């Protein structure tokens, strides 16, 4: 984990108010694993006071990504002041970044067919995981749900070997309805499932008619303060007591979670 200035390479809008920010910081690009995140200072002053966490989409450390080795991409949806400030970044600017942080996804040794389930920007760490899975010669299907067609993650950014199935809440693109309704079709095919998205989507995974042998990992996107395990601003209840999403997660086995 490193804290320091990263140089902005590009900051492009790829969907409606959704941007890809490419940063250059060789140690972070080298060390990050799928599911980990970086903590960015969004403004040049102390407003906003807190950094904002963003998952890493792809890194030049993976030769499949065709990025220079010291660079990596994050993707952000503009939802408030911090992410709005990020839209002002231009190539050559410096951003104070802490990371990589958190526990990554783990592909089980026996996994051959990996099912990924994403809600909104939860797709970011799953695309990173898909890249790793393809390097390990796994078959990968990615089911992804978005509010509407304007928010859909472009297929051109998903590795072409991945079966990419889109659902939109309003039916404006792909399957109409929640992404969770697509999962049962794939349950007998998959031998591991990894998911990231809003809590209601993750919670819905507990009710799936699945084999108890199907391992499920989820990545949480809780509100965060320090991201260093100190402030306890990100804790979630689990079977092992309260756990910090920033240090003990963001990736957890589904069966450990206690949903309120
Ligand atoms: C580990 C982790 C990884 C993340 N990865 C990504 C990513 O790859 N791309 C991305 O776009 N976002 C990601 N997020 C969410 C992102 O951090 C927030 O959207 C961002 O901090 C919002 O900052 P803001 O100042 O723009 O909005 P704020 O002004 O802080 O909030 C605007 C609105 O968004 C809501 N909000 C803020 N943070 C969250 C959150 N964590 N969960 C649910 N609602 C929230 C607020 O309640 C408010 O309604 C991630 C969060 C975590 C914890
Ligand atoms: S954000 Fe401070 S302990 Fe997790």
Ligand 2 within 6 A of 244 CB?
yes
Q: pLDDT tens, 165-210?
A: 999 999 999 999 999 999 999 999 999 999 999 999 999 999 888 8
The predicted model gives 96-102 an average pLDDT of 95
Please indicate, yes or no, whether residues 154 and 202 belong to a single structural domain of this protein.
yes
CA angle (122 as vertex; 34, 15 as ends), nearest 5: 110
Is residue 30 over pLDDT 90?
A: yes
Which of ligand 1's atoms lies nearest the C-alpha of 76? 11
Please indicate, yes or no, whether residues 119 and 214 belong to a single structural domain of this protein.
yes
Please indicate, yes or no, whether residues 10 and 95 belong to a single structural domain of this protein.
yes
Please indicate, yes or no, whether residues 215 and 120 belong to a single structural domain of this protein.
yes
Q: What is the domain-level CATH number for residue 44? A: 2.40.30.10
**Mean pLDDT, all residues of the chain:** 94
**CA neighbours within 13 Å on the CB side: how many for 247?**
13
pLDDT at 4: 83
CA distance 165 to 145: 9
pLDDT at 210: 82
For 92-233, strand residue ranges (E) read 94-101, 113-119, 139-146, 163-168, 175-176, 192-196, 216-219
Ligand whose nearest atom lies closest to the CA of 226: 2
Ligand whose nearest atom lies closest to the CA of 234: 2
- The residues, any chain, with a CB within 8 Å of residue 163's CB and separated by 6 or more, are 140, 141, 142
Domain assignment present for residue 16? The answer is yes
Please indicate, yes or no, whether residues 59 and 120 belong to a single structural domain of this protein.
no
Ligand whose nearest atom lies closest to the CA of 235: 2
Is residue 37 over pLDDT 90?
A: yes
Please indicate, yes or no, whether residues 121 and 95 belong to a single structural domain of this protein.
no
Q: State pTM to two decimals.
A: 0.95
Domain assignment present for residue 240? The answer is no
Ligand 2 within 6 A of 98 CB?
no
What separation in angstroms does the CA of 217 have from each of 6, 20, 45, 148, 204? Answer: 30, 25, 37, 26, 13
Please indicate, yes or no, whether residues 117 and 217 belong to a single structural domain of this protein.
yes
Ligand 2 within 6 A of 246 CB?
yes
- Asked if 38 and 97 count as a contact pair (C-beta separation under 8 A), the reply is yes
pLDDT at 148: 95
Q: pLDDT tens, 54-67?
A: 999 999 888 888 88
CA distance 213 to 240: 21
Which of ligand 1's atoms lies nearest the C-alpha of 124? 8
Q: Could you give the 3-state DSSP secondary structure of residue 238?
A: strand
Question: What element of type H or E holds 241?
Answer: strand 241-244
Is residue 49 over pLDDT 90?
A: no
The tally of domains found in the chain comes to: 2
CA distance 192 to 205: 13
Domain assignment present for residue 90? The answer is yes
pLDDT at 19: 96
Is residue 160 over pLDDT 90?
A: yes
Range of the structural domain that residue 65 is part of: 2-101
Please indicate, yes or no, whether residues 58 and 148 belong to a single structural domain of this protein.
no
């Amino acid at each position: 984990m490193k804290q320091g200035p990263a140089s902005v390479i590009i900051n492009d809008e790829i969907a409606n108010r959704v941007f890809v920010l490419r940063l250059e910081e060789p140690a972070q690009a080298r060390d990050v694993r799928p599911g980990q995140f970086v903590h960015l200072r969004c403004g040049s002053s102390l407003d906003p006071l807190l950094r904002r966490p963003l998952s890493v989409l792809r890194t030049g450390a993976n030769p499949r990504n065709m990025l220079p080795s010291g660079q990596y991409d994050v993707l952000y949806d503009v939802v408030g002041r911090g992410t709005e400030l990020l839209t002002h970044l231009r190539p050559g600017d410096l951003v104070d970044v802490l990371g990589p942080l958190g526990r990554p996804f783990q592909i089980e040794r026996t996994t051959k067919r990996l099912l990924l389930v994403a809600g909104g920007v939860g797709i970011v760490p799953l695309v990173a995981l898909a890249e790793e899975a393809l390097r390990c010669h796994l078959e990968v299907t990615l089911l992804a749900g978005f509010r509407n067609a304007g928010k859909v993650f472009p297929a051109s950014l998903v590795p072409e070997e991945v079966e990419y199935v889109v659902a939109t809440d309003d039916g404006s693109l792909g399957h109409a309805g929640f992404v969770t309704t697509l999962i049962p079709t794939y349950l007998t095919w998959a031998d591991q499932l990894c998911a990231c998205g809003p809590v209601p989507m993750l919670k819905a995974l507990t009710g799936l008619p699945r084999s108890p042998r199907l391992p499920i990992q989820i990545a949480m996107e809780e509100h965060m303060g320090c991201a260093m395990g100190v402030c306890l601003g990100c804790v979630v209840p689990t079977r092992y007591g309260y756990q910090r999403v920033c240090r003990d997660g963001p990736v957890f086995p589904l069966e450990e979670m206690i949903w309120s």
